[in-house]
């Protein structure tokens, strides 16, 4: 069934345009603008160019999804197969099925929202020309990763995103951006070298680099020892990008230093490239090798779930000076652990859960990084103690819509039933309860129990973040007698401000966001007999129209996926069944 009947040739063109269009747009962004398109502000003109190109790619992706045959999601559609390097049998082979289509649309959507957000709030740094070009190259490489069906093309697309992200962090990032950018590039490049060796081993030993042919062969052309070596080599490269514990240490630094748009794209789509490679390449092409390493993959996954949650709890505690962006980055380590656990089960239930969790994480964590970026812009910091010490009921009292959106994203991230984060985690745990034949059921049930415990830890740190950032800290007990020798509370801007005592002059707060003038309707701290009323907390700018435009689609899709999971599972399940059964629908 297709919503609109589109001819195969048009579908081929749409997929080719989705992959190549952003690359052409990146070249155009670096060229001088035509006289009629320069406008009054050249910087705004190039940012508008980014919105136009990413918008056209998003429209093409939506039309492609509408024309997709939903009755046969396991069949490769919109395929293009052209010989490129005959000596190596390398082909320009493109195509999509129920596994790659959701990731394709998610990438196009998040990149467009980032371009729209950047148009109204350009990142601080060098000329926007390079920024727009890098974002478009990044989009092209990510979309190509999900669309190509040749191992060497997959590797080239996989590597294509590294340089743009390196420069986005290094040129437009915050503190420690150079160290974070170098750590990102070194980790991923070293992993990629090992992955290339594994891909060449699979291609040369099987006689083809075609991913569809390898999936249909289902490992029959590779000995068990070759499969084990291939899974180890390719898996290491993919695990770095996922990121799997203990290869994750580049991620918190990269997220903390990256600009808001960089963090959204890194968490929303780049992390999905690693898990996509595990599902698309290793599960069907080297099933015996995957079966050998599946228990170890699951063990690393659940350690990552618990480790990421404990790191978040440590950052969220009072006095830890934890950075909110860094906390969300560590939460990604835990959430991607569920994806890896689902893949390690090698069951349709677990792999479907992993793919669902991939999409849910892209929507929810992308929204979280947008929101944290907005909070940091308003307060001048993402330090949790400073945010919690900003009295006046914190975000709920000072920017209620922004506070409500942050609370919504937090409860979606912790896996509240009815929102997108719930289904992926539940299905992966179900898959671990009954893993594939040949895997230890007691071991995987132990992993399931540890993963379930991790969901409780996730709820704990997310609720702490909501309480501290959205509600603020509890006020300290007020003094009832004057004490001229007591130091002024305003001397510690990061600490909660207690009510003033009689005879104590009030000093203006030194935090940048607290310097604004109060406005009517601001919540006021409660008073007790014998104390002066605390000054009302100044209001912050609430959600702006351009922010609402960038965030509303993510909120709506998070609710839609939570209430109607069959939309996504109906696409992925037939394709997963075919992959796991050796190419048989």
Which residue did the predictor score with more confidence, 113 or 7? 113
The answer to whether the bond into 98 is cis (omega within 30° of 0) is: no
In this predicted structure, the answer to whether residue 481 has a pLDDT above a threshold of 70 is no
Please say whether the beta carbons of 142 and 277 come within 8 A.
Answer: no
Burial class of residue 467 in the structure, from the number of CB atoms within 10 Å of its CB (0-12 exposed, 13-18 middle, 19+ buried): middle
pLDDT higher for 570 or 532?
A: 570
What's the rounded Cα separation, in Å, for the pair 46 and 52?
A: 10
- Sign of the dihedral defined by the CA atoms of residues 485, 489, 490, 494, in that order: positive
Say how many CA atoms lie within 13 Å of 264 toward its Cβ: 31
Statement: residue 277 has pLDDT above 70? yes
Q: Which of 420, 423, 401, 404 has the alpha carbon at shortest distance from 412?
A: 420
Q: If you count DSSP H runs as helices and E runs as strands, how many of each does the chain have, helices first?
A: 23, 2
Q: Which range has highest mean pLDDT (40-49, 56-65, 185-194, 493-502)?
A: 56-65
What is the rounded distance in angstroms from the CA atom of residue 261 to the CA atom of residue 169? 10
282 or 514, greater pLDDT: 282
The one-character DSSP state at 513 is: G
Q: How far is CA 169 from the centre of its chain?
A: 16
pLDDT-derived band at 486, boundaries 50, 70, 90: very low
With 60 as the cut, is the pLDDT of residue 488 above it?
no
Read off the pLDDT of each residue in 541-564 and give the average, rounded to a whole number: 90
* Coil/strand/helix, residue 12: helix
pLDDT of residue 427: 93
Higher per-residue confidence, 389 vs 98: 98
Query: What CA–CA distance (Å, rounded) separates 272 from 57?
Result: 19
Residue 366: band (very low, low, confident or very high) from pLDDT cuts 50, 70, 90: very high
- Give per-residue burial for 240-251: e unless 16+ CB within 10 Å, then b: bbbbbbebbebb
Any bridge partners for residue 80, and if so which?
A: 94
Write down the pTM of the prediction.
Answer: 0.84
- What does the pLDDT average to over 503-507? 39
Tell me the average pLDDT across 427-437. 90
Q: What percent of the chain has pLDDT over 90?
A: 38
Closest CA to 354 of 447, 427, 433: 427
- E strand or H helix at 571: helix 566-580
Exposed/middle/buried for residue 172 (C-beta within 10 Å: 0-12, 13-18, 19+): buried
Question: Is it the case that residue 40 has pLDDT exceeding 70?
Answer: no
Question: Which token pair is 62?
Answer: 């939506």
Q: Are 162 and 188 in contact (CB under 8 A)?
A: yes
Lowest mean pLDDT among 130-139, 171-180, 275-284, 527-536: 527-536
Q: How far apart are alpha carbons 335 and 53 in whole angstroms?
A: 31
Element (H, E) at 581: none
Average pLDDT over residues 149-157: 91
CA distances from 196 to 41, 193, 272, 328 (A): 44, 5, 18, 31
In the chain, % of residues over pLDDT 70 = 85
Distance CA 169, CA 323 (A): 17
| 280, 200 contact by CB (below 8 A) | no
**What would the pLDDT profile of 78-106 be if each residue is shown by its tens digit?**
888 888 888 777 888 899 998 999 999 99
Cis omega (within 30 of 0) on the bond before 246? yes
Statement: residue 306 has pLDDT above 90 = yes
Question: In sequence order, what are the residues at sequence separation of 6 or more whose Cβ sits closer than 8 angstroms to the Cβ of residue 194?
Answer: 233, 234, 236, 237
Q: How far is CA 542 from the centre of its chain?
A: 24
Find the range with the poorest average confidence among 107-116, 238-247, 300-309. 238-247
Coil, helix or strand at residue 29: helix
| DSSP-assigned states of every residue in 484-511 | TTSPPGGG-TTS--PPPPTTPPPPPP-S
Q: What is the mean pLDDT of residues 282-302?
A: 91
Quick one: pLDDT band at residue 370, thresholds 50, 70, 90? very high
Task: Answer whether residue 274 shows pLDDT above 60.
Answer: yes
pLDDT of residue 57: 94
Tell me what the mean pLDDT of segment 365-384 comes to.
87
174 confidence band (pLDDT: 50, 70, 90): confident
Structural tokens at position 117: 């957000």
Residue with tokens 């990731």: 103
**pLDDT band at 408; cut points 50, 70, 90:** very high
What is the sign, positive or negative, of the torsion defined by CA atoms of 50, 554, 353, 463? positive
The string of DSSP codes covering 79-146 is EEEEEEEGGGTEEEEEEE-TTHHHHHHHHHHHHHHHHHHHHHSPPSSS-HHHHHHHHHHHHHHHHHHH
Supply the pLDDT for residue 322: 79
CB 350 within 8 A of CB 324: no
Rounded-to-5 percentages of helix, strand, coil across the chain: 70, 5, 30
Mean predicted confidence (pLDDT) in 101-123: 92
> pLDDT (tens digit, 9 = 90+) per residue, 563-574?
999 889 988 999
What confidence category does residue 521 fall into, taking pLDDT thresholds of 50, 70 and 90? very low
**Residue 207 pLDDT greater than 50, yes or no:** yes
Confidence of residue 68 (pLDDT cuts 50, 70, 90): confident
Q: In this model, does residue 19 exceed pLDDT 90? A: yes
**DSSP 8-state class, residue 406:** H
The CA distances from residue 236 to 176, 188, 245, 255, 293, in Å, are: 27, 10, 11, 21, 12
Is the confidence at residue 500, as pLDDT, over 70? no
Band of pLDDT at residue 403, cut at 50, 70 and 90:
confident
pLDDT bucket at 523, cuts 50 / 70 / 90: very low
pLDDT band at 369 (very low <50, low <70, confident <90, very high): very high
How far is Cα 26 from Cα 433, in angstroms, rounded to an integer? Answer: 47
Residue 91's DSSP bridge partners are 83
Residues 260-264: what's their mean pLDDT? 89
- What pLDDT is attached to residue 473? 67
Collapsed DSSP state (helix, strand, coil) of residue 303: helix
Quote the CA–CA distance of 429 and 448 in Å, as a whole number.
5
Between the alpha carbon of residue 498 and those of residues 171, 388, 489, the distances in Å are: 41, 13, 7
């Amino acid at each position: 069934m297709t919503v609109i009947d589109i001819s195969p040739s048009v579908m081929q063109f749409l997929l080719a345009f989705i992959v190549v269009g952003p690359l052409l747009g990146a070249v155009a962004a670096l060229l001088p603008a035509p006289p009629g398109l320069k406008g009054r502000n050249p910087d705004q003109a190039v940012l508008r160019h980014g919105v136009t190109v990413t918008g056209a790619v998003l429209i093409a992706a939506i039309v492609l999804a509408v024309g997709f045959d939903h009755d046969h999601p396991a069949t490769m559609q919109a395929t293009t197969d052209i010989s490129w390097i005959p000596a190596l049998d390398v082909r320009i082979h493109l195509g999509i099925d129920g596994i790659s289509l959701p990731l394709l649309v998610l990438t196009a959507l998040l990149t467009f929202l980032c371009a729209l957000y950047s148009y109204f709030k350009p990142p601080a740094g060098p000329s926007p020309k390079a920024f727009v070009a890098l974002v478009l190259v990044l989009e092209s490489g990510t979309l190509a990763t999900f669309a190509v069906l040749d191992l060497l093309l997959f590797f080239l697309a996989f590597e294509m995103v590294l340089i743009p992200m390196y420069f986005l962090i290094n040129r437009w990032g915050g503190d420690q951006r150079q160290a974070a950018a170098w750590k990102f590039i070194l980790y991923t490049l070293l992993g990629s070298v090992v992955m290339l060796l594994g891909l060449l081993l699979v291609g040369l030993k099987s006689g083809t680099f075609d991913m569809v042919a390898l999936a249909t062969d289902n490992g029959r052309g590779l000995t068990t020892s070759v499969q084990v070596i291939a899974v180890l080599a390719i898996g290491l490269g993919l695990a770095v990008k996922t990121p799997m514990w203990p290869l994750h240490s580049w991620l918190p630094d990269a997220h903390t230093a990256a600009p808001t748009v960089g963090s959204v794209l890194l968490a929303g789509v780049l992390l999905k490239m690693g898990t996509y490679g595990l599902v698309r390449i290793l599960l069907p092409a080297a099933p015996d090798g995957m079966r050998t390493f599946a228990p170890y993959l699951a063990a690393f996954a659940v350690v990552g779930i618990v480790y990421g949650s404990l790191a978040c709890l440590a950052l969220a505690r009072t006095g830890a000076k934890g950075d909110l962006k860094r906390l969300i980055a560590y939460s990604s380590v835990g959430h991607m652990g569920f994806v890896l656990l689902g893949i390690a089960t090698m069951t349709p239930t677990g792999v479907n859960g992993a793919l669902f969790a991939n999409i849910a994480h892209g929507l929810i964590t992308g929204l979280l990084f947008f929101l944290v970026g907005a909070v940091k812009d308003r307060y001048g910091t993402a330090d949790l103690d400073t945010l919690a010490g900003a009295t006046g009921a914190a975000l709920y009292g000072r920017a209620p819509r922004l506070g409500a959106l942050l609370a919504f994203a937090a409860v979606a991230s912790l896996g509240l039933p009815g929102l997108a984060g719930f289904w992926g985690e539940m299905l992966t745990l179900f898959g671990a309860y009954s893993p594939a034949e040949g895997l230890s059921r007691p071991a995987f049930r132990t992993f399931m129990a540890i993963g379930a415990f991790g969901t409780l830890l996730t709820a704990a740190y997310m609720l702490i973040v909501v309480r501290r950032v959205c509600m603020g800290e509890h006020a300290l007990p007020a003094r009832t007698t004057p004490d001229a020798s007591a130091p002024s509370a305003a001397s510690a801007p990061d600490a909660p401000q207690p009510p003033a005592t009689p005879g104590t002059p009030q000093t203006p707060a030194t935090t940048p966001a607290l310097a604004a003038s109060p406005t009517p309707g601001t919540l006021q701290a409660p008073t007790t007999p014998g104390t002066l009323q605390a000054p009302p907390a100044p209001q912050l700018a609430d959600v702006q129209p351009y922010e609402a435009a960038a965030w509303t689609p993510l909120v709506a899709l998070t609710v839609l996926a939570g209430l109607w999971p069959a939309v996504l599972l109906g696409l992925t399940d037939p394709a997963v069944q075919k992959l796991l059964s050796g190419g048989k629908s």
